[in-house]
Structure 1
Amino acid sequence: MSTKAPKDKPLHSFIAGTSAGAIEAFVTYPTEFVKTRSQFARKGVAREGPITIITSTLREKGLRGLYAGCGALVIGNAMKAGVRFVTYDYFKGLLQDKNGKISAPRSLLAGLGAGMTEAIIAVTPSETIKTKLIDDSHSSKPRFKGLIHGTSVIVKEEGIRGIYRGLFPVMARQGANSAVRFTTYATLKQFVQGNVRPGQALPSSLTFAIGGIAGLVTVYTTMPLDSKKYRNSFHCAYRIFTEEGVMRFWTGTTPRLTRLVLSGGIVFTAYEAIMKVLR
């Protein structure tokens, strides 16, 4: 007898994905702020550690300083999570077997497609704006007065092409991120449901743990693709390797690890909980 689960509606996936993405982005934003600030360090200048960045920001800017550029990321993360889950569920529906299960290679392919799609629609523009807002907030005389003002100035000065600069490396990064994250999550979830808790719904605590592990795996397999310091990805890789050494590819790993472990747990737990209500 087939045990295939009913197919989720795209609208439900989008609503659950955008909601989960917004929640995850707001809760974990301070770690994203620290990671981005750590990657602004220039050669020859002592890099600040995560604790130093947090304490200096709180002292100079207050709690709001840790959320500089937050609006861009929350909106962008909500949109990209919505697109990611809708796209992944669509590809998964095409690639899964008659019992609703999907093999690791096919999940990898579905995640890759989802990540590249979200990079084009949401990630590239939102992260470009977010990064510029964080960089501006750290200057002695900030130019931007907020998300809307900052976005309008950026678009006015650089045009639409300006916020899509670096699209190729972002597509590569997001494709790899989603491929690894979804494959790890789907594989672990199927294993637990098939061997540890057969026929039972997973509690939120277990979903969070599986999502956190998926985030952990994602960090260490995709970190070299997360450098935003250069405009061209091949030039970036060459310059970083020859001038700063191979370990520079993993600069910012600690805050990114914190963020993706938390985000993996939060986004999958929120998504599954919201989907249960919508179903």
Structure 2
Amino acid sequence: MVGYTPEKETQLFASEQALAGAVSGAVSRALFQPFDVLKIRFQLQIEPLKRSETSKYWGITQATTSIIREEGVLALWKGHVPAQLLSVLYGTVQFVAFEVTTKLAWRVLPEDVYSDHKPLTHLLCGGMAGCASTLVIQPVDVMRTRLISQGKQKLYSSMINGMVTITRTEGVRGLYRGILPAMSQIAPQIGLQFSFYTLLRDLWKKLLHKNGEEILEIQGSAVCGSGAGLISKTLIYPLDVIKKRLQVQGFEEARSEFGSTRHYRGMRHCLFTIAKEEGIIKGFYKGLTPSLWKAALVSGSSFYVYEKICQLLEFRKKRDRICRSDDKI
């Protein structure tokens, strides 16, 4: 189970939890990066997502075909290096921070409060884990967004070249563009994700127990993780659109082939401009479909791989402890 559980016979070290988080992030990113590319292309498009002379993209199939035809199959993994680094860092910090904060909550709160209100506790702990992760990965996220959004005209040849160029032309502040909506988005999203995961896991156990079936712990982590990812992403999605729009400010030259561009003075201006020009639903939920596919698949696989790795590490520790006991005898 994700989160600190005092009744566990074997508790993992933070380094072991970090390893599990890093592996889960790397696996999920490698498998589902194309959904992220599609989502970002949709989010950054000013024109409506419908068939017209001005719209570059208007559907998942059309966009995928267009990207492959114009840029090659590997374009679906565009920005994969910074994205992979982002996922590894994010998975590591997110899960370790969550395990640490839930353990701290268990020590500070009365035992009945922690047990009876675990979803609420996980909501708050997940929010703090999300804030910690965002501060660490924001520069990589900005670089990933820009690499994905540039077309045939390359302003950045690599992640390192991009970071150096941004720092030189825009200052360190350029690497943290969109940090306010990012923090506003990630903290509640991760909090909700962990909270709904806990709720869905409890329902999963009760449902299987009620039917007299064996509880499928690890399989349940994939199902419940997917559900938690879908719910949390849908609730917080508009902030993700605003974040992506702000991250590509000052980058309009490389995006001219994709359609219109806009200059936003900040989070509030971006919010009102999108609402006025593109509409609340059509503007703030651009790219929602690939994003939900990605959220479900990535969240489900992340929880599954994380719990599987933790299970294997716990099994190894138990085996080593038994072997040491046998040696003493």
TM-score (norm 1): 0.90
Of all paired residues, the percent bearing the same amino acid is 26
User: Could you say which residue in structure 1 is the equivalent of 2:40?
Assistant: 36
- Looking at structure 2, the residues matched to 214 and 223 of structure 1 have their Cα atoms a distance apart, in angstroms, of 14
User: Could you say which residue in structure 2 is the equivalent of 1:112?
Assistant: 127
Is residue 71 from structure 1 mapped to residue 81 from structure 2 by the alignment? yes
User: Could you say which residue in structure 2 is the equivalent of 1:90?
Assistant: 100
User: Could you say which residue in structure 2 is the equivalent of 1:249?
Assistant: 284
Larger radius of gyration: 2
Pairwise CA distance, 1:115: 0.6
Is residue 235 from structure 1 mapped to residue 269 from structure 2 by the alignment? yes
Q: Is the 8 A contact 2:201 2:220 kept in 1?
A: no
- Looking at structure 2, the residues matched to 15 and 142 of structure 1 have their Cα atoms a distance apart, in angstroms, of 35
- Looking at structure 2, the residues matched to 155 and 72 of structure 1 have their Cα atoms a distance apart, in angstroms, of 16
User: Could you say which residue in structure 2 is the equivalent of 1:81?
Assistant: 91
C-alpha distance after superposition, 1:220-243 (max 9, x if no partner): 111111112136222222222222
Which has the larger displacement, 14-23 or 236-245?
236-245
Q: Is the 8 A contact 1:204 1:269 kept in 2?
A: yes
- Looking at structure 1, the residues matched to 72 and 6 of structure 2 have their Cα atoms a distance apart, in angstroms, of 53
- Secondary structure of the 1:170 match is helix
1:132 to 146, 156, 161: 146
- The size of the alignment, in residue pairs, is 275
1:217 to 231, 249, 261: 231
User: Could you say which residue in structure 2 is the equivalent of 1:159?
Assistant: 171
Pairwise CA distance, 1:145: 2.3
User: Could you say which residue in structure 1 is the equivalent of 2:197?
Assistant: 185
Q: Is the 8 A contact 1:69 1:133 kept in 2?
A: yes
Q: Is the 8 A contact 1:35 1:255 kept in 2?
A: yes
User: Could you say which residue in structure 1 is the equivalent of 2:252?
Assistant: none
Which has the larger displacement, 3-12 or 260-269?
3-12
C-alpha distance after superposition, 1:56-114 (max 9, x if no partner): 11112222111110110110111011101011111111224648845222111011101
- Looking at structure 2, the residues matched to 234 and 54 of structure 1 have their Cα atoms a distance apart, in angstroms, of 32
User: Superposition RMSD on alpha carbons, in Å?
Assistant: 2.4
User: Could you say which residue in structure 1 is the equivalent of 2:21?
Assistant: 17
C-alpha distance after superposition, 1:170-221 (max 9, x if no partner): 11111021011100111222333356349x7634332211111111111211
- Looking at structure 1, the residues matched to 72 and 192 of structure 2 have their Cα atoms a distance apart, in angstroms, of 36
- Looking at structure 2, the residues matched to 121 and 187 of structure 1 have their Cα atoms a distance apart, in angstroms, of 28
User: Could you say which residue in structure 1 is the equivalent of 2:68?
Assistant: 58
1:165-204 equivalences in 2 (<5 Å): 165-193=177-205, 196-197=208-209, 202-204=216-218
TM-score (norm 2): 0.77
